[in-house]
A and B are shown apart, each in its own frame.
Chain A
Amino acid sequence: MNVVAPFEGIGASVRRKEDFRFLQGRGAYTDDFNRQGQLHAWILRSPHAHARIKSVDISAAKAMPGVVAVFTGADMVKDGLGGLPCGWQIHNKDGSPMAEPLHPVIAHEKVRHVGDQVAVAIAETREQARDAAEAIVVDYDVLPAAVSMEAALKPGAPAVHDDVPSNLCYDWHIGDKSVLDAAFAQAHKIVSLDLVNNRLIPNAMEPRAALGEFDRTSGDYTLHTTSQNPHVIRLLMAANVLHLPESKVRVVAPDVGGGFGSKIYHYAEEAIVTWSAGKLGRPVKWTADRSESFMSDAHGRDHVSNAQLALDANGKILGLKVHTYANMGAYLSTFAPCVPTYLYATLLAGTYTTPVIYCEVKAVFTNTVPVDAYRGAGRPEATFLLERLMDVAARETGIDRVELRRRNFIPNDAFPYQTPVALQYDSGNYTATLDQALATADWAGFEARRAEAAKRGKLRGIGCSTYLEACGIAPSAVVGSLGARAGLYEVGTIRVHPTGSVTVLTGAHSHGQGHETTFAQLVTDKLGVPGAQVDIVHGDTAKVPFGMGTYGSRSLAVGGSAMMKAMDKIIAKGKRIAAHLMEASVDDIEFERGIFRVAGTDKTKALVDISVAAYVPHNYPIDEIEPGLEETAFYDPKNFTYPGGCHIAEVEIDPETGKVSMVNFTAVDDVGRVINPMIVEGQVQGGIAQGIGQALLEACVYDADGQLLSGSMMDYTMPRADDLAPVSVATHTTLCTHNPLGVKGCGEVGAIGSPPAVINAVVDALRDFNLRTLDMPATPSKIWGIINAGRQQAAE
């Protein structure tokens, strides 16, 4: 019987390799590891938003059963440990660097947010460590807290950091204000809008965990941690905090249960378990309770903005002016400063030909958990601002909201397109994604559905967003000039074994993205090796040469490109070996999907013939070519990639309860070439669920004293299955012009495009109530309040 193997290359919806272990409970997440002699750490956290630590009495805790050690911030100071570093430096308008106060691993002298680390108890069992932490007596001098950005910027506000009395981290801007003022002077109409981008708590399903080990024989440290980027953690922790040579530190990020940005950053607990494992000579493990995650994982978003759009009489945009306040929280998390600047303001052109843009961003310290990148990071904030503004502008100019967008789209023949805010888009077709989405969503037939809903007593609305994002981060020289303290290339190694199977070592990290499948498809497509014989290795600094990790939808665009480059090297070497074996000139050797052929002949060698020859070099040009078949490539992207598209939301509101129900959601995204359509669809669906969560359900709430009110899954509304409706996801491809795969990235588009589409739909449903602004989340109480107030007004 002649069995034809199913196609497993680029474009096939190959079922995931990793699912076998996950579906049978064989995943290996950080908390699943236990070591001989392992101790357990429990972190005592501050119950106050802002307080001076007068004293920490650990004597009772140390005497508790099973307790091995209790450490405080003073112990870390004594050992000369550094603070948690920030990876990006922003400069103020006047050229001076941002304020960058010390971020102690364990708070010393002062606590600055509820959840700040105050001490760590280490004991034989987790329960003993927890009991001991509760026996630590801390004498706090409670201080007034600066909780909201508005409060923090008031003269005389409590200073989160004594050395930053204004609480202003930076005052940054981009664009030419005088050119903008001139454009605004010509305007036929100026549309102004105040917006809040609500603060979110990422809540990856796996709580963070860390397991530190110290090998007394070698002096080597090993950290298992829930990270999206183990090499970055090794670099930051070894160089900045523990002051160890990187060669003595191994960081492993095994199976990781979701990240969404929150597991990019170097967290205190990673340093605590590694340092204390060295001090105690025993493994030390820490696993967060969900309640700890709420008050110690970096939060996301939290912008307050005013935006003004200048238009001419035909609805063409003349200019955009934006003022934004961005919350940094109490300390600078690893990448926090770049989120409201280079991942936000640079996106304000969106899909439009706006000729001039000026944006000013003030980043503010507050007595809240640090804020950093969360799925989309800056780009959802820019998209929400722009796409809400377009709808308001349409209403105030009387131009149809879809038509207004069309009039301002960057035309297809304008690529490469240089925006006024630094970015140069390589490709896109915004009319095509819009048209496809309008057709799929039956936009034209909506008024009939609205009328039908009205008969049932429901308010139905429809809204769109025609968004764009920049991802595949990022060209190292560019980000370096913008303040990044790292390069953002990626690394890939292709190891062809003697018998022809392949191991890929990648610096990207999979925490749900399905890299083990998608990356294998690249190897199958290019080298002709079946997926079952390709293994993807990631997440271990002892195995993978180097890597910058996974975030910013960069794994395929940057990491995949590194693999392609390494495979090119394998093929080039393979051709030289094949030329020798077939006694031909290397210039005459062709290669396609695993077969080396002498051009124009039937003389061939398979990849396995070449690998055998390379590892058993008996008949081999040993003076000219080294044995072995393994190549490594570092790929530094030439540009960002620019996915874009159109999202359309359709909602129904029950006016009696204010509940907004998702009825339909349509996404047409241009993510460049699609390697695995099934996985791309899954990524987009998941992103949209988070976007709908932001728009309708999720809000991080602090009270005026800095207590986190939404501090558990009973208080913070995570989207559940019955909050969501089926989503129609499609792609429309224009290829990225500057990476070898033509890919753009798909991890964040869902979370970026969807929130304004949903809110525009809600505002449309409430069009009789003359609603101009609507802050997320559009909860039932908020919507009912709007409807009720409108009815009362009408009655008066």
Chain B
Amino acid sequence: MPQVTLTVNGQTHTAEVEGRTLLVELLRETLRLTGTHVGCDTSQCGACVVHINGESVKSCTTLAVMADGATVTTIEGLAKADGTLHPMQEAFREYHALQCGFCTPGMVMSAIDLVQKHPDGLTEQEIREGLEGNLCRCTGYHNIVKAIAAAADVMHGKRTEIASAAQ
């Protein structure tokens, strides 16, 4: 069986995998990082999104062997060691951008990459279009869109902390 070595959330792991093993299976079953979810089997829902070398990728559509030598960040690797949440996590909480929490890890990972790819800021429409690869059945997306805009302001240095939601 092929062997893969990869760095996940700062820790280096080596594992033997089947050729058909998906990255999400390696993360969830071998490394027991169950924050990354599987919501579909057609690469539509985005619940499985992680970062590979800083870019968002659907880990259900990535073979584990393709991540050999890569640096992977999952939802578990976002908060600081002292428990401080990433601005995107903080914004999702402030704006009630999650309900059941199942799509949330992938949504947050996609949103961070989306903001990083738009250093000049994003319009509401750009955020909505940027979420094309992530499905949420609970929220209707409105609060997710607001949260991403609020997090972008902090990630781009326009504000030092997440703007309070209206309520």
Which A residues lie at the B interface, using CB under 8 A? 13, 15-16, 18-29, 31-32, 34, 127, 203-207, 255-258, 260, 289-291, 511-514, 677-679, 681-683, 685-690, 712-714, 718-722, 724, 726-727, 750
A contact residues around B37 at 8 Å (CB): 29, 205-206, 257
The 4 closest A-B pairs by CB, nearest first: A25-B35, A257-B102, A22-B101, A689-B140
A686 to B33 Cα, complex, angstroms: 28
Asked whether any CB of chain A lies closer than 8 Å to the CB of B11, the reply is no
A27 to B76 Cα, complex, angstroms: 11
B contact residues around A289 at 8 Å (CB): 41
A contact residues around B34 at 8 Å (CB): 25, 28-29, 31-32
| Cβ-defined contact, B142 with A685, below 8 A | yes
A contact residues around B39 at 8 Å (CB): 205-207, 257, 290
Those of B88-131 within 8 Å (CB) of chain A: 89, 92-94, 96, 98-105, 108, 124-125, 127-129, 131
B contact residues around A207 at 8 Å (CB): 38-40
A688 to B125 Cα, complex, angstroms: 19
| Cβ-defined contact, B131 with A713, below 8 A | no
Least Cβ–Cβ distance between A14 and chain B, in angstroms: 10
Closest to A256 in B: B100
A contact residues around B125 at 8 Å (CB): 722
| Cβ-defined contact, A22 with B47, below 8 A | no
| Cβ-defined contact, B167 with A678, below 8 A | yes
Asked whether any CB of chain A lies closer than 8 Å to the CB of B36, the reply is yes
Asked whether any CB of chain A lies closer than 8 Å to the CB of B139, the reply is yes
B contact residues around A204 at 8 Å (CB): 100, 102, 137
B contact residues around A687 at 8 Å (CB): 140
Least Cβ–Cβ distance between B150 and chain A, in angstroms: 14
Least Cβ–Cβ distance between B112 and chain A, in angstroms: 12
Known: A32-B34, A682-B143. A23 touches B98 (CB 8 A): yes
Closest to B99 in A: A512
| Cβ-defined contact, B18 with A127, below 8 A | yes
With contacts A712-B41, A721-B144, A721-B145 known, what are 14 further pairs, Cβ within 8 A?
A27-B101, A29-B37, A34-B29, A34-B32, A255-B101, A257-B100, A257-B101, A257-B103, A677-B167, A681-B96, A682-B143, A685-B143, A713-B45, A721-B134
| Cβ-defined contact, B78 with A686, below 8 A | no
Least Cβ–Cβ distance between B108 and chain A, in angstroms: 7
Those of B38-52 within 8 Å (CB) of chain A: 38-42, 44-45, 47
A190 to B14 Cα, complex, angstroms: 75
| Cβ-defined contact, A25 with B76, below 8 A | yes
A contact residues around B94 at 8 Å (CB): 15
Closest to A682 in B: B96
Q: Which of the residues B79, B93, B101, B138 comes within 8 Å of A15, measured between beta carbons?
A: B93
| Cβ-defined contact, A203 with B137, below 8 A | yes
Known: A24-B79, A203-B137. A713 touches B167 (CB 8 A): no
A204 to B45 Cα, complex, angstroms: 11
Known: A289-B41, A721-B144. A25 touches B33 (CB 8 A): yes
Q: Which of the residues B36, B42, B135 comes within 8 Å of A25, measured between beta carbons?
A: B36
| Cβ-defined contact, B76 with A205, below 8 A | no
Least Cβ–Cβ distance between B149 and chain A, in angstroms: 12
A contact residues around B41 at 8 Å (CB): 289-291, 712
Known: A257-B100, A722-B128. A681 touches B167 (CB 8 A): yes
Known: A258-B138, A720-B135. A205 touches B45 (CB 8 A): yes
Which B residues lie at the A interface, using CB under 8 A? 18, 20, 28-29, 32-42, 44-45, 47, 74-76, 78-79, 85, 89, 92-94, 96, 98-105, 108, 124-125, 127-129, 131-132, 134-145, 165, 167
| Cβ-defined contact, B132 with A720, below 8 A | yes
A459 to B102 Cα, complex, angstroms: 38
B contact residues around A683 at 8 Å (CB): 99
Least Cβ–Cβ distance between B45 and chain A, in angstroms: 6
A contact residues around B104 at 8 Å (CB): 22-23
How many A-B pairs have beta carbons closer than 8 Å: the answer is 183
Least Cβ–Cβ distance between A280 and chain B, in angstroms: 21
Closest to B90 in A: A23
Known: A260-B137, A721-B128. A713 touches B44 (CB 8 A): yes
A contact residues around B144 at 8 Å (CB): 721
| Cβ-defined contact, A290 with B101, below 8 A | no
Known: A713-B44, A714-B42. A678 touches B79 (CB 8 A): no
Known: A22-B98, A32-B34. A713 touches B40 (CB 8 A): yes
A13 to B93 Cα, complex, angstroms: 12
A722 to B142 Cα, complex, angstroms: 10
Least Cβ–Cβ distance between A639 and chain B, in angstroms: 28
B contact residues around A206 at 8 Å (CB): 37, 39, 100, 102
B contact residues around A21 at 8 Å (CB): 101
A contact residues around B165 at 8 Å (CB): 13, 678
| Cβ-defined contact, A205 with B103, below 8 A | yes
Q: Which of the residues B89, B101, B128, B145 comes within 8 Å of A18, measured between beta carbons?
A: B101
| Cβ-defined contact, A205 with B135, below 8 A | yes
Least Cβ–Cβ distance between B78 and chain A, in angstroms: 7
B contact residues around A20 at 8 Å (CB): 93
Least Cβ–Cβ distance between B31 and chain A, in angstroms: 12
B contact residues around A31 at 8 Å (CB): 34, 38
| Cβ-defined contact, B40 with A722, below 8 A | no
| Cβ-defined contact, B40 with A24, below 8 A | no
A13 to B94 Cα, complex, angstroms: 10
| Cβ-defined contact, A686 with B75, below 8 A | no
Subset of 23 A-B contacts with CB under 8 Å: A13-B167, A18-B101, A19-B92, A23-B75, A23-B92, A23-B104, A25-B75, A29-B37, A127-B18, A257-B103, A258-B137, A260-B137, A290-B41, A511-B100, A689-B139, A713-B40, A720-B131, A720-B132, A721-B129, A721-B136, A721-B145, A724-B141, A724-B142
B contact residues around A750 at 8 Å (CB): 140
A681 to B142 Cα, complex, angstroms: 11
Least Cβ–Cβ distance between A681 and chain B, in angstroms: 7
| Cβ-defined contact, A205 with B100, below 8 A | yes
Known: A34-B29, A722-B132. A682 touches B102 (CB 8 A): no
| Cβ-defined contact, B42 with A290, below 8 A | yes
Q: Which of the residues A23, A34, A257, A686 comes within 8 Å of B93, measured between beta carbons?
A: A23
Q: Which of the residues A18, A127, A722 comes within 8 Å of B131, measured between beta carbons?
A: A722
Closest to B33 in A: A25
Q: Which of the residues A23, A27, A718 comes within 8 Å of B137, measured between beta carbons?
A: A718
| Cβ-defined contact, B100 with A512, below 8 A | yes
| Cβ-defined contact, B99 with A686, below 8 A | yes
Least Cβ–Cβ distance between A449 and chain B, in angstroms: 19
Least Cβ–Cβ distance between B123 and chain A, in angstroms: 12
A contact residues around B140 at 8 Å (CB): 685-690, 719, 724, 727, 750
A56 to B47 Cα, complex, angstroms: 37
Least Cβ–Cβ distance between B65 and chain A, in angstroms: 16
Closest to A32 in B: B34
Known: A718-B135, A721-B131, A727-B140. A127 touches B20 (CB 8 A): yes
Least Cβ–Cβ distance between B163 and chain A, in angstroms: 14
A726 to B142 Cα, complex, angstroms: 6
Known: A512-B138, A713-B44. A27 touches B35 (CB 8 A): yes
Known: A24-B76, A24-B89, A290-B41. A16 touches B96 (CB 8 A): yes
